[in-house]
Each structure stands twice: as C-alpha cells, then as structure tokens.
Amino acid sequence: MANIGYIQVVRHCNHFCGFCSNPTTPYTHNFDSMRVLVDDFVRRGYFGVILTGGEPTLHPELPDIARYATDQGLHVRMITNGWRLADRKFAKALGEAGLRLVHVSVYSIKPDVEARLRGLPDTLGRAYAAVDNANEFGIEVNINCVINKLNADHLDLNIRHWIKYHPHIRHFVWNNLDPSMGRAEVNQDQFTPRLADFELSLYRALRMLHKTGRTFRVEKVPLCYMTDFAWASTETRKIVKGEERIVHFLDAKQTVRQTDWEHIYSDSCEVCSLREICGGLFDRGDAYDPAELHPVFIDRDSVVEQIIRDPSDPSYKLRSLAQWRADFERRLDEARARPRRPPGPREEPPPEMRDGLIPVGQITDRGQRLFQAKRRSESRKAERLGVEMESLKHQGQEGS
C-alpha cells in the first residue's frame, strides 16, 4: 500500500498564521537525527516521505536529506509556503536533490485575506513564483489549502485563478482547519469555519477541477459535505484501503502512528449509507458541531469502486469489489475486537496512536535560546495582529 510518512524537519517559520497547528518548539533536527527517521520509513516499506514543518525550507540541510531519502528509494515530497522557492537557485537545488513533488500552501488569492491569514503582506507574489520555479526544475506542484472562516466563501475563486494562470498544476489538496493544536486551538473564534460556510464553494471548486480533468483530495470534511466527490476524501480512501500514516512531530508528541481514521459521529450517522467508510466529524478541539451532520443514502460500493480502481494508485492490489469486501470485513472484525476509546474530547494523541521507538529531534541549549527569542518576537507579532499565542503544552515546554 502507498503509505507515506511525515517528518517535521523544523518547527519555526517565516510566516505567522493565526491558525498554525504546528508552531515553534525548542526541538531541532540535524542530518543524522532525520536520517534515522528516513531509514525507518524504508524499513517499513513506505512509498514516500513528506518533509514538512514549520517551514521546512528553513533547515540548512534540507537538500541533503532530500537527496538521502531519494537515494534510499523514497518518493520525496515537501509542504512549503513557497517563500524560499521563489528563489530560482534554491528551487533548482531542490530539484537536483531529487525532490519530486512540492505542496505549495496558499489559502486565498485575495491579497488582503492571504495577508491576514499569513500574518504578513505580499506573500502571494512569491508563492506564484514558487510554483512556476518548481515546474521549471521538474518538481511536480500541488496546491494545499487550509479551509478556514476567511476563505470559506471563495474556494472556487481560488481554483479559477490557478486554472487560468498556472495551468500546469493538476492536483489540489484541502484540509479543513485542525482546531485541536497550536494557535488554531486558541484562535477558534477567528478562524474555525462552520461546515455550511464552505459547502457550496468547495463543491463548485471540486466540480471545476473534475470537469477540467484535474485531481484533488479533501481532508477532515465529513462525507455529507462532499457526497458527489466522496471518493476524494483522504480519510475515506485510507479507511477503504487500510492505510496508515506516521508523523514524526518535532515536539513532545514525538512519533504518532495513525491507523484509525474515524473521528466523531452523530445519531443521524447510524442510518447513513456511508457510515462505514466515513471519517465523520473532526472534533478534537470540540470546535465543529455534530448537529451539522446529516445522513446520505448513496451507494457505498460505487464510492469504494472509484477508490480501489483508481489508476493513479497502482500499489493497491484488491481491484475487485468481492476481494475488497472480504478484506474490509476482516479489518472491521479486528477493529470491533479492539477496546473502544471513550467518547468525547480526548488528549492528543491517544496512547494507541503512539509509536515512540525513535527519538525525534533533540532539545539543545542553542535550540532553547532560539526558541525563546522566536517566541518573544512572535508574541509581539501576535499582539499586533490581534491573535492569541499557542499554549506550550505540546511544545516540550509545559509550565514554562
């Protein structure tokens, strides 16, 4: 199966998003501490690795670790705000290091909205330069977008822009805002959308992409808010194919191995035809409202077939419905036999998601000093922008 792991290579950033779920910590990586994580993905038979952050391009050894992972046979990707990729020389160096795909994150093509979300002006021009530079140096480009209160009404307008001005981009990823961590947790009123806020603009955006032959994925959106495109839900695809995800967090959480893609459900989910393949409502900050969920009555197997027969994932082998059903029933039986988590809000991550065998990064004296300096400058920015600073509970600095 096409499992892909994540390594947070840094946790600081040159932008200051008010809903950042992975803000600055005192943990740092060097080449050797990243190398063992890459080796672990190789040992597990993973297909690829996503280098992320913070802003990963701020790590001086990023090209070296990209080269190393490529040499070990991994498909190497990166999630970035694009600021440094706007420099052609830097984009070229990453292309030569084997980086195959870059997810450039842009929230809104409206300059004032993007500036508010990014915490600084004039980032859009650099993001546009980044996608064109990456394309020039042979790195495939995807656009990532966090759905939030400020862009919820114009996700389709964003797509219109990308299709018109950057037609080489063929794949788009949306993440509904994760309100459980970092600054997102303490700024929910400003940034967490209601599902109904983005339902229409997301539908229009997906339909536009589908009609023009482009592809997409949507994470943390329940299937009742994307019924025509249920096969594009990240959680549904993972439930259907039985995939896992490992994230090496550069903070006190350390390694999290996620095999359970189900979140929260309402009573109405019990009669929904998609219940068994739906990730439900992403609840972990208690921010979204289960009353917004409504059952749907569409054919589950037609959604499954679109996933298991997807030619873009040749690694998935059970291509007939009968084979898939037998495998899925077996996995459901195993899941039913496991003790259930208690309902309601829970600590992040739950203990069964922890892997914890490999130390992720380290806290050094220098890392501590840089963290304290960064936190002081970010506190001033937060005050200027009218957002709250994140709690320190997962940053390795509890109580400080």
Chain residues binding ligand SF4 by CB under 6 A are 222-224, 265, 268-269, 272, 274-275, 278, 280-281, 293-296
- Print the SS3 string covering 91-115: HHHHHHCCCCEEEEECCCCCHHHHH
User: At its nearest, how many Å lie between ligand SF4 and the CB of residue 344?
Assistant: 17
Cα torsion at 267, 271, 276, 277 (round to 10°)?
Answer: -90
**DSSP calls for 191-242:** HPPPHHHHHHHHHHHHHHHHHTT-EEEEES--GGGSGGGGGGBHHHHHHHHT
Beta bridge partners of 23: none
Q: How many helices (H) and strands (E) would you count in the chain?
A: 13, 11
Amino acid at 58: L
Of 117 and 272, nearer to ligand SF4 (C-beta) is 272
The Cα 293–Cα 283 span in angstroms is 12
Max distance between CA atoms of the chain, in angstroms, equals 59
User: At its nearest, how many Å lie between ligand SF4 and the CB of residue 274?
Assistant: 5
Of 113 and 272, nearer to ligand SF4 (C-beta) is 272
Of 90 and 328, nearer to ligand SF4 (C-beta) is 328
Q: What's phi and psi for 95, nearest 5 deg?
A: -60, -45
Q: Residue holding tokens 């025509």?
A: 228
User: At its nearest, how many Å lie between ligand SF4 and the CB of residue 293?
Assistant: 4
Start-to-end CA distance of the chain, whole Å, equals 42
User: At its nearest, how many Å lie between ligand SF4 and the CB of residue 281?
Assistant: 6
Of 72 and 268, nearer to ligand SF4 (C-beta) is 268
Of 124 and 224, nearer to ligand SF4 (C-beta) is 224
The Cα 176–Cα 169 span in angstroms is 21
User: At its nearest, how many Å lie between ligand SF4 and the CB of residue 265?
Assistant: 5
Of 62 and 230, nearer to ligand SF4 (C-beta) is 230
The Cα 312–Cα 285 span in angstroms is 34
Task: Mention every residue, 6+ apart, whose C-beta is less than 8 A from residue 326.
Answer: none
User: At its nearest, how many Å lie between ligand SF4 and the CB of residue 284?
Assistant: 15
User: At its nearest, how many Å lie between ligand SF4 and the CB of residue 268?
Assistant: 5
User: At its nearest, how many Å lie between ligand SF4 and the CB of residue 4?
Assistant: 24
Of 189 and 267, nearer to ligand SF4 (C-beta) is 267
Task: Mention every residue, 6+ apart, whose C-beta is less than 8 A from residue 384.
Answer: none
User: At its nearest, how many Å lie between ligand SF4 and the CB of residue 348?
Assistant: 21
Of 30 and 268, nearer to ligand SF4 (C-beta) is 268
Alpha-carbon radius of gyration of the chain = 20
The Cα 288–Cα 262 span in angstroms is 15
Of 68 and 265, nearer to ligand SF4 (C-beta) is 265
